[in-house]
Structure formats: structure tokens, C-alpha cells
Structure 1
Amino acid sequence: MLKRSIVMGLLCFAGHAYSAEIAVTTTDDNDVDDSVCSLREAIQYINAGMPKEGYHGCGGESAVSIILLEKQATYKLKSRIDIKAGLTLKTTYDSTENQSVAVGLNNATIQMDGQDQIFHIDDGNKALITVNFQEVSFQGCGTSACASLGGIIYNNEKLTLQSSALKGGRADKGGAIYNVGFSSESASLGSVVQTYNVLFENNQANNGAAIYSVAPNFWIASSVFKGNTGDVTIYTENPLANASSLVFPARDHLITNSTFFKNSGFALNLKDGIGLNNLTIIKNGGGVLLDVQDGQGYLANSILLGNGTASGSMNCKVVDQSTDKSVIYNNLLTAECPTAAVENNNTVWAKNDLIAGEDEGVCKNLNDDTTSLLCPYSVPNNAFLGYLRPRILVSFADIFSGPILNKGQTEANGNKQFVACESTDQRDKSRETNNLWCDRGAIEIIVPTSIPRIGDDIKPGQTAKFNILQYLGDSDLIPKEQCDAVVGKNPTGVAWQDGCLVIKQTQTVSKGKTTLNLNGDLEYIPNGAWHGADIFELQVVTSSTRYNPANKYISAEVRIYQEPDNDIDSKSVKTSGGAFGLYGLMGLFGLIGLRRLKK
């Protein structure tokens, strides 16, 4: 059968030169002597030492060990591919074509059509080779068992994954990845897995539903583990060999700024040499298995709630009460977890109000749910990874009242078991470490300085409708019933709307009526068939800005244009794309942490 060639138009973009990189030009899984380069052939060429004459349509005299895949293409494999030399495999596309598309949404996918793992990474030598996967997603075989060790990847080298997804892997150990993690020659030569901005979803294994590592040689950051099936989602078999010689807190074998949600078993097991920091571990079959013998394993600045089964909570389980020396520092957890000394600052949560709504989906507003700590898991528009957003409740008297916001510290103050928050959160938002306080969990509550310009073009007889919640950062609108207490009586003499809405005319007189509800739905009704613009400033109070003693409002410019059908020139101001795209404007205005309200 003829190969299906991919149109590699990306190779012709002005200002780019990809001549030395190896472009895969077919999605077929073939290894035949022709002029078309498959993924298997490209890797075989690098494994062979990259001969200058090339190999089966891949490479040549000036080639480098970077393999390019086409965006959103699917490459189906009949059997695994062995990787025996260092390489980089990435999806490539013109980043100037659509700058608003988040990294990870254009990924090529490598899919196993047979009953096998996708990659077996091992060159058979002592020294480690480096293998990088960037913006590449993987779909496992999906059958009862893809492989015994590593349903998608077997790794015995240095493996780095960035902005990737691993789904549908099946194995006895390591549903997605099996990491050898040690060397008989030297501990420093052990294979390592590094992930950043990676999704592990719906993988399955008897142990290590997502990752199984023989030793704790990994660095996992800003990643999501969701819906994986097995006893433990990330399982580490052995502690670090030299753990007793470490200086606390060790920073070499970390899992940070990550979310574990609705996995069937425990999220992780903690051993000496492992650091767990700023994690959100919610609604899994279990939380963390504690098995630390030398006091060199820690769980810090994390949210550990709602894990277990209908028969009982299981946020923590100590493997051996008589020998465990796990350091549990500054976490939000439940009573079955060891909280250590009072100076370790753990908060025991005894309530059941956890998620405001269903487990996944739309978050309830502050009137419909007055007590739950978190919004449901959701993936924002034009985002790669989802998360559970912390809520700032109306009942919180100040910014220190809740169990998540401002409960982490960035200074030790003499505490020998102190562990600082990470400098950024799962979304790469700054935790404002120049100030004292930071938030527990994977998500730092961020408050924008301003809302970007919003508006719409309408015709006579129409109304303008849009939602502003997406522009409020990690905050909610204040219910109208709270406005008198927060900002005082409405100076107009009428009852407050939700958000304590204030409309301030700037460049025009008022030409219509604006209404806003607690779900963020804004409607503008013109007061007639006028032609032209109504330009005004919209001001609202949110669950976070209400604590600002200087100014409790956040504002945005609104421009409504009303034109007849035959008007050729559109003066619409859109909320996405172009010079006023959401991400461009948010970048211009910048984001600040709620920390700034503490000065």
C-alpha cells in the first residue's frame, strides 16, 4: 500500500531553516528503502549513528538528532520502537500562525495499534543518553496489557517530557512509564524521568498506574494525574540509597505543583529521598502512603482531602507506625494523617464540603454554595491542563481565614523542618516569593490588576451579552446581598447588583442599561436605535479584591457599538484575537498575587 504523505508546509515558513532536522513525512509505520521518512526510520537512522548518506529517506550529511512531527497528526505503530541514542522528538508548527493557542494543544499523537509499548529507551551502556519529547502525545494500546514493564514507555536513560499527554497505557508495572531508576555501577548513573506540563490519564497497572520507578530518580512538575487505575498512581519501589547523607529538605527527587484527581488507588508512596511539595490530591482511592525511615522524605504545602472510599477517609496511610519518620509540614489534611508537632503548621479539616458542584464542570457561585473549598476540576478554554481552583468564601473575615490561602510561608523562621512553597504554581503563575505568604496546593490564587477591554457590535433591536468570569482570575463576584457590608450603600440610591456593579461613563453619555448576575453573565440593553458607541467603565468587587483597603473594585473598559446593517466598517472590539486578544492584554496588564494586598 502506498504511504500517506504529509504536506510539510511548515518547512517553508519564512525565516526558519529546518534543513538539518529530520522531518517525518508519513504517518505510516514502515521501514523500507524509499524516499519517504517514517518515524520508525527516523529513529533507526539516529540509532545507527546518523550516517551521512541517510537511511531510507531520513537524514543526510547535515542532519541533527531532532525529529519533527506534524501538528495534530496521528502516527500509528505496529510494534514498539527501540531508542538507543540521544534524540529530541517534537511536534513542529509555525508559532506565529496562531499565538493564542496554548502549548500542548497542537500535539502530534503516537498511537500503538499493536499490543506493545510505544518506546523502549535503553542503549545498553552505563552512561545515560538524553531523550526529549516536546509537545508529543502518546496513546497506549488500550488492551488488557500492552507490556509487562511500561505500558507506553520503558526508560533506562534520561527521559524528559514537556507538554505531552500519556493515555491508555496498560502494564503490570508502570501503566504509562516504567523507570529503572538505578544503576548497579553508581547511584549517580540511575535512569531518570523528568516531566513538565504533562497529562497522565486513564493508564492502568497493578502497581504504578501512571509511573513505576525502581528508585526515586524523577523530577515531576506542573503535571496532572487523572483517572489512572492501580494500587498507587506513582509508585517508588526503593528509597534513595544515600538518603541518610542528605541535608533536609532535599531538592533532587521531587514531585511539585501537580494535581492528582480521581485515580483509583493511592496517589503516591513517600520514601526517603522524595520531596512532595504544593500538590493537590483530591478524590483518589487514597492519598499518600508514608514509608520514610531516615526522615528524608517530606510532604509539604499541599492539599490532601476527600481521598478514600465511601466506607472511610484514607488521605494518609502509614506503612509502619513504629518506624515511619515522614516529615509532614504545612498541609491541609484530615485526622488520620500524622500532623507532627504544632510548629509544623498542619491544618486538620473535619468538614465534608469540598467541591462546589459536580466533581468536574462548572463551579457554583458564592450564593449557591457558601462552604465548599474548591471549584470542580475543569480545563479552561484554550488550556492544556485542568485544575481545581480554590475558592475565597464570603464567610472568610480576612485573607488569612481560609485553610488554603496564605497558609504557606517563604521564610523558615528557625523551623528545622521548614519547606518553602515552590516559586510558581501548576500554571506557571508566580507565587510572589518576595513576600511572606503563599497558598497551599498546586494552584496559587492570582488576582489580575485589571480586566481587558470588552465589548460587542450590535444592530438596532439587539442586545450585547457576554460573560466576565473568565477575566476575574481566581476570584468570584461578590453577591449583591453582601455589598452594603463590603462597600456601603449604593451612591445611586438603587439596590446593588451582583458584584456591587458600578458603571462610570467615560467618553460618551449613557445610551443603555447594563445588568450583571452572580454567574458573570452581563447584558447590555440599548435605550433606542441610536448609531455609534457607548463607552464606559465597568467596576466590580470580587471575593479577593474586597480585602484591598485602598480599592475594592476591579475595572474594565466596555465599548458597545450599534450600527445599521449597511454599515461597511465594523468597529467591534473583540475579547479574543488581534491586538486585544485575551492573552495579549493579560500580558500587558500583568497578573499579581493576592500577596500584594498584605502590604
Structure 2
Amino acid sequence: MPWSRGSLLVALLALHIPFAKADTVIVDTTADDSNASTCSLRDAVTYLNIPAATRPASHGNGCAREGEATTANIITLPYKAAAYVIDAGKGPIDIDTSIVIHGEESTAKVPASPFVWVKASQAFRIDGPPLTENLGSVDAQLDMDPASDTGTIGDRHTSTVLPYFTGTTVAGETLVCLYAKGPATDAKNLLINTVLSDPVGAWSLRSSVPFDTGINVVSVVTGGATCAAELLPAVTPDRIIKVSVYEDSAVKFSMVDFVGCGASNLPAHMVSANVIPAACGTPVPGSKGGVFYTNETLELESVAVRGGSADKGGIIYVDDEGILNAASAALLNGHANSGSAIYMERNGLLLSRALIAENRDAAEAVMIASGSLVSGFSSSNIENVTFHGNDGYALAVNENVKLNALTIIDNVAGAIAFSGTDLALEASNVHVYNSVVSGICSGVPAAWPTANAPKFNMANSSCQFVDPSNTVNNGNLVAVADADKSCYEDTAGMLCPRDFDDDGVTDFYVPRYLPTLVPGVDPADQFSGLINKGSIGEIMSACPGQDQRTSNRGQAGRCDIGAIEFQFINERVNAGNFLVTGRFEQTFAADLVEGSDEELYLPANASTICPVILPTAPLTGVAESCPWLSQAPSKGVVKLTADRKGYFYQSYSDFHGFDTFRIEVTTTASRLNDYSHPASRTRGILATISSEPESGAVSDGVLDDGGAFDWLGLIGLGALLSHRRIRRGASRA
């Protein structure tokens, strides 16, 4: 049965796209070839574009049905060390039907997604089935209402299964009988609705019976006393027209990454595949979407896109009827004249748990060009998103937008460019909550309407967020990160930048418990910056249930401001590794950063105050926050490194077996004994050392150079956002 836009949206939000019949195809070549022996990505789409009713079990282009899918047409991209290529000479891949394109991760310790190298000026064009036949000119006696004509107005193509029709008849209240015959060869011409015309003979009605996909014949009969249930051949209609009903397409990409022109900071597996993105050059005037063009529904889940260039929408362009739902996505290095990452013609955007960073050239990274709404939407919603390092503004928005739990930092032109004629009115439906808005705002109203007042933000004064729940950025916003990924040395910055995959791009900013906070006083009652400063007791401004990393919010009863919620560590951290000879060495930051956001807290002059050999009881006075052992090892000794920021274990002699110890450390959060966390002034690091001196097996945790070593497994960008990668190293118990 054909989809209405509303039902399509419901299915989209449920991450489920039903089909009457669905097939699975597995791509078996990375080349953009078309031959009978291999199935390329382009071939797979071409195969599934064939209507299900006439789709063969195999196709001459090398693709075949691998099995019937239960819910959706699926294209599977197995992980390969090489890039799947979309060649420049072949243009974009046209998707005319609903498809899920899903990647299978590698089996490495740090899994990677399959990736597509876009050499063409565009990768995918998603605009539904081709509608080439014009089914008639405007007819006063019987025509499809323009509001139902979702193709080109006047061509009588629609994706609406219950379309409206209009017409005229003789003056007076005349009975109008409307009939429709579906595309099936045995279809009957059945009554679909009736109405009385108005005094001048005009009428309008909506079909009460869903239309079938394909060409339907619609007839009108007027002037009778009654309407028969079926239009018989002996009755001559006043007018007959043809109407084409097609399905809206919903296309989903999952666990697949993309590389286009201008991409930088590529992950190691892409570099190893000899992916060398070209420079973008000047965008072609009028070009739309450097990687994706859609006038249908496009969903991105656990996808990272680097690069792409177009006049509008360096990475993604969404046309008048399009919908974009991007979750756990990263959009980087797009180039455009407008909307370097995303360009939306209308409000049909759902953007969550995403990173929008280092997009170039345009006046804004995300542009919503109009305040008008796509059918089924009451507003565009952007939440749990980090914007940083973009040329221009992070966002340019009109009416009907809700921004919630964003972190907007260090964008060249500013934070948000507001526009629209009625932002001072409640009807503008613009809302900003629980966000870090660093950088200027433009186009703000003289006064925000009370119902739409931005709340619980830390923002630049130019944004004029005057509700008392807001605070003004005091300038000490971003801390300087240390090599160990903590911000221990910076005592003022309220956000710690984290680049977990070491690609030179900050993945998100973690709110900090500053070391200057006073113990015994609720941090929310001090100028603690962002922690526990979010919405409380309000429905409209409520924080999302999870943050950009899918970590739970509101552990203290109130959420934190920004895209990231501070995560406490559990009562202990598990650490440890194999020991062959010498010593096992580790930084405290490596232990604490994995699985939490806590930072080590040491007393001033720790290198002289804290003893090298860890004591077996807590110290007092100025040495109160020095590390100590609550469980001592039996086969070796644990000492602090010279700077006291790490520790090492050294065995008394070679041994087979295990040794265990537990170190208690103070963190910037534990020292406050915050009521939102189990009452404890320290965090325990439980280390189990496995010694196999005769095996010769050297582990990652054993150092040859004697320096402190961060043995955390590094994770990929897309995984960082969606928590779909397997982490190595310390984990919360």
C-alpha cells in the first residue's frame, strides 16, 4: 500500500521501513563496474530500482537476490581494505526506491566501517521514481487538487494515497459522484466519495478509499439522484482523467563512511587504502549536494562523511519535499557557497548525536533556508550536536526550529544566524535550550517572546538570552588538553576537548569539575560553569535523555549544559596487563579517561609532597589528595612517577601468575563528595598483573623507554559518536 508522508515519517523515526516485498543484495566488488560476474554498489541499486513485482531473481549486471528481507530492501557492503568507488565519469547513483545500505565492520580490535570514495561530483541522488509522463492538462470539470499533486504541479503524479479532487458542474447544489479504477487488470470502477456542489457549481472532495500504486482512472458523474456503488459501462462519465500514484522513497545508510573532495585527517585504514581525496575547486553554480541530494527521506545512522563540494550543501542538499534524519553522524570538511555541511530548503531536519566540524567556505555550516514546514513536521529538531571549527556561522535558521543541548564553539563568523519576520512573536516557534553558544548571534529579536524564551544556556551576550536561567560566557570556556587527553594542567577552562582517535579533530567537549570548586558546597550553587545547570522541572526545555555519546543524562537530577553530560566513574577502574620483565607503567589519566570524564586531582607541589612509594593509608593535611594503596601487591612494589601523574609496578623477581593491587586516587569530582555520586572521596584503580616471563609475549602495556604509556585502544570517529566500537584498556567495573 502506498505511503502517506505522515506514515513515512513515523516509520522513519522508528528506524524501520516496511515493504510489501523486499530483497537483500550483497556487493562483491569495490570497483564501479557493470559486468555479469560482479555486483558493484551501482549495480545493486540499479537492480533494486526494478519494481518488486517484476524484479528477477538475478540480473544481468551481476547482482542477484541473496534472500528475501523481512522489512526492507537491503544492500550489504562487506568490509574491505579498499574503498568502494563512485567514479567521476559515471556520475551519481540514482536511487528510485526505498533501500537500506548497511556496512559490515571489520574484525579488527578497533573495528572500522566500509568506506566509499566519492570521485564523482555527487555520490547519490535520491528523488524517487522517475515521473516522465504528463497525464493531462488543467481541466475545470475534474482535476487533482494542486495540494495533492506532489510531482510537478499539473502532471497528476502524487504520493498521496487519499488525494483531493476539484471540479465544476452546473450551478446549484448538484450531486457529484466520484469513481476510481485501480491499475490491476481486474479492477472495478468503484465509488470513492460523493459531495454536493456549491451554488455556483464548484466542488471539492477527498477520496475515502486509498489509491493503489500505479495509474488509476478517475471518473466523475454529476446530476443524478443517487450514486451507484460501481460505475457501470452503460453510464457515460462527465469527465475521465488518469492519476499516477507513487511511493515516497526512504533511503537509509548505516555503518558506512564516505570520503569526498577536500577531505582531511583521514583515519589510518583509509590512508592504507591509498585514498587521496582531490581538492574541491570552485563549486559549480547551481550544483546541489556534494555527496547526497535528496527530495525524499534520507537517514544516516553511524555514518562519517569527510569532504564534498557543491554550490548548496557541500555534503547534503535537501530539496523542498525532502527529510533528513541524521543520528550518530559526523559531517566534516564540506565545501559550499551556502550550507557547507547541510542545506535544507524547508524545515524537515532531525539532527541528533552528531559532530559538524571544519566545514569550509560557506557563511554557515547548516542552512535552513525557509521557515516553512515539510508535511508531518512541527519543527526541525537539532539536539546533542557539537559544532566547531566551521567557516561562517554554525547554524542559519528561520522559524520553526528547536535547538537543544548543543555545543557551539570556535566557528569563524559566529554561533547562530537567526532570520525570519516574526521571531518576536510566539508563532515563530524558535526555541534554544541547554546549550553552549559561544560566538555571536545575529538577527535576534529586540525581545524574545515569553513562550519561546531561550533558557538554561551559556551564551554570548549578543544572543540576548535574558531569562535568569541563562549565563553569559565569561571567556574561560575551552581548556588546553594535555597529551594524556585530560585537562589537568588547566584550572579555568570549563570544557575539555577530546580527540579520541588522534586525527586532529576534536570529537566533543566534556564539561569539567574545576579544581577551584569548594568541597562541601553543591557545585550547582557555585560558578561551576556547565555541570548541573540544565533544565529542571520544565517539559518544553527538558534535556534529552542521553547525550551525544548516548550516555545517560541527569544523574544529579539536572542535566549539564551542552552536547556532553559529565560521566562519573564507578567505584573502581579495572587496569592491568601482562608483565614480562622490567615494569608495567601507566598514567592515571589513561585509567580515568576510559569510561568516565573524571580528572586526577593532586595537591600543589605534588612531586615533593606525595611520596614516591605509595603509602598503605591515606595521608592528611596538604597531602590528603595524594594517591595511596588500599590493597598492596604481594610480589612487587608500586611507585609513583616523578611527576606523580602515573604509577609503575615492578616485581621483586620473575614469577608466573598474578599480582593484584588497588590504588586510591582523588579526582576533581570525588574531592567534592558530590551528592549525585556514591559518597567516596577517592576512586579505586584495581590492577591485576599477569606475569609470564618465559613466554616472551610482550604486551602493549610494557614499556621499553620507561615513559608513562597510554594503553587505551583508540576508537574511530563514527564509533565515538555512537558507542559502536569496542574499546580496549581500562573499563568501568
Cα deviation digits, residues 153-206 of structure 1 (max 9, x gap): 1101111001111221111110000101x3xxxxxxx32000111111110111
Residue ranges of structure 2 left out of the alignment (5+ in a row)? 1-21, 131-150, 152-157, 160-247, 263-279, 610-614, 703-710, 715-725
The structure with higher relative contact order (CA 8 Å, sep 6+) is 2
Structure 1 residue 405: deviation in Å?
0.2
Superposition map of 1:511-550 within 5 A: 511-515=636-640, 520-527=645-652, 533-548=658-673, 550=679
Query: When the two structures are aligned, how many residues end up with a matched partner?
Result: 522
Residue aligning to 2:588: 468
Residue aligning to 2:523: 399
Q: Provide the rounded CA distance (Å) in 2 between the counterparts of 1:266 and 1:361.
A: 30
Q: Provide the rounded CA distance (Å) in 1 between the counterparts of 2:713 and 2:331.
A: 30
Q: Provide the rounded CA distance (Å) in 2 between the counterparts of 1:265 and 1:504.
A: 53
8 Å CA contact 2:497–2:507 kept in 1: the answer is: no
Residue aligning to 1:437: 558
Residue identity opposite 1:66 in structure 2 = I
Q: Provide the rounded CA distance (Å) in 2 between the counterparts of 1:49 and 1:382.
A: 43
Structure 1 residue 539: deviation in Å?
1.0
Residue aligning to 1:350: 474
Residue identity opposite 1:234 in structure 2 = V
Asked whether 1:22 is paired with 2:25, we answer yes
The equivalent position to 1:92 in structure 2, one of 88, 104, 117, is 104
Q: Provide the rounded CA distance (Å) in 1 between the counterparts of 2:126 and 2:698.
A: 58
Cα gap change, 1:134/1:575 in structure 2, threshold over 3 Å: closer, same or farther?
Answer: closer
Residue aligning to 2:136: none
Superposition map of 1:263-412 within 5 A: 263-285=390-412, 286-291=414-419, 293=422, 294-305=427-438, 307=439, 314=440, 316-318=441-443, 321=446, 327-342=453-468, 345-351=469-475, 353-357=476-480, 363=485, 365-366=487-488, 368-380=489-501, 386-397=507-518, 398-400=522-524, 401=526, 402-412=528-538
Superposition map of 1:72-221 within 5 A: 72=80, 73-78=82-87, 79-93=91-105, 97=107, 101=110, 106-114=112-120, 116-123=121-128, 124=130, 126-127=158-159, 128-142=248-262, 143-144=280-281, 145=283, 148-180=287-319, 182=320, 190-221=321-352
| 3-state SS of 2:600 partner | coil
Structure 1 residue 495: deviation in Å?
8.8
Q: Provide the rounded CA distance (Å) in 2 between the counterparts of 1:29 and 1:81.
A: 10
Q: Provide the rounded CA distance (Å) in 2 between the counterparts of 1:196 and 1:300.
A: 19
Q: Provide the rounded CA distance (Å) in 2 between the counterparts of 1:569 and 1:444.
A: 37
Residue identity opposite 1:409 in structure 2 = S
Q: Provide the rounded CA distance (Å) in 1 between the counterparts of 2:303 and 2:396.
A: 24
8 Å CA contact 1:477–1:498 kept in 2: the answer is: no
Q: Provide the rounded CA distance (Å) in 2 between the counterparts of 1:357 and 1:172.
A: 36
C-alpha root-mean-square deviation of aligned residues, in Å?
A: 3.7
Q: Provide the rounded CA distance (Å) in 2 between the counterparts of 1:569 and 1:209.
A: 47
Q: Which moved more, 1:328-337 or 1:495-504?
A: 495-504
Structure 1 residue 340: deviation in Å?
2.7
Structure 1 residue 509: deviation in Å?
3.8
| 3-state SS of 2:576 partner | strand
Structure 1 residue 130: deviation in Å?
0.8
The equivalent position to 2:604 in structure 1, one of 481, 484, 504, is 481
Residue aligning to 2:685: 556
Q: Provide the rounded CA distance (Å) in 2 between the counterparts of 1:38 and 1:323.
A: 53
Residue identity opposite 1:404 in structure 2 = L
Q: Provide the rounded CA distance (Å) in 2 between the counterparts of 1:208 and 1:320.
A: 23
8 Å CA contact 1:478–1:518 kept in 2: the answer is: no
Cα gap change, 1:520/1:389 in structure 2, threshold over 3 Å: closer, same or farther?
Answer: farther
Residue aligning to 2:694: 565
Structure 2 length-normalised TM = 0.64
Structure 1 length-normalised TM = 0.78
Cα gap change, 1:480/1:331 in structure 2, threshold over 3 Å: closer, same or farther?
Answer: same
Q: Provide the rounded CA distance (Å) in 2 between the counterparts of 1:257 and 1:492.
A: 40
% identical aligned pairs: 26
Structure 1 residue 500: deviation in Å?
2.4
Asked whether 1:225 is paired with 2:356, we answer yes
| 3-state SS of 2:42 partner | helix
Structure 1 residue 576: deviation in Å?
7.3
Cα gap change, 1:265/1:31 in structure 2, threshold over 3 Å: closer, same or farther?
Answer: same
Cα deviation digits, residues 473-525 of structure 1 (max 9, x gap): 11111122399x9xxx995669977952120236x547313215778422223
Asked whether 1:66 is paired with 2:74, we answer yes
Structure 1 residue 213: deviation in Å?
0.3
8 Å CA contact 1:318–1:324 kept in 2: the answer is: no
Residue ranges of structure 1 left out of the alignment (5+ in a row)? 1-18, 183-189, 308-313, 590-599
Structure 1 residue 456: deviation in Å?
3.3
Superposition map of 1:473-512 within 5 A: 473-481=596-604, 500-505=626-631, 509=634, 511-512=636-637
Structure 1 residue 279: deviation in Å?
0.5
8 Å CA contact 1:156–1:179 kept in 2: the answer is: yes
| 3-state SS of 1:154 partner | strand
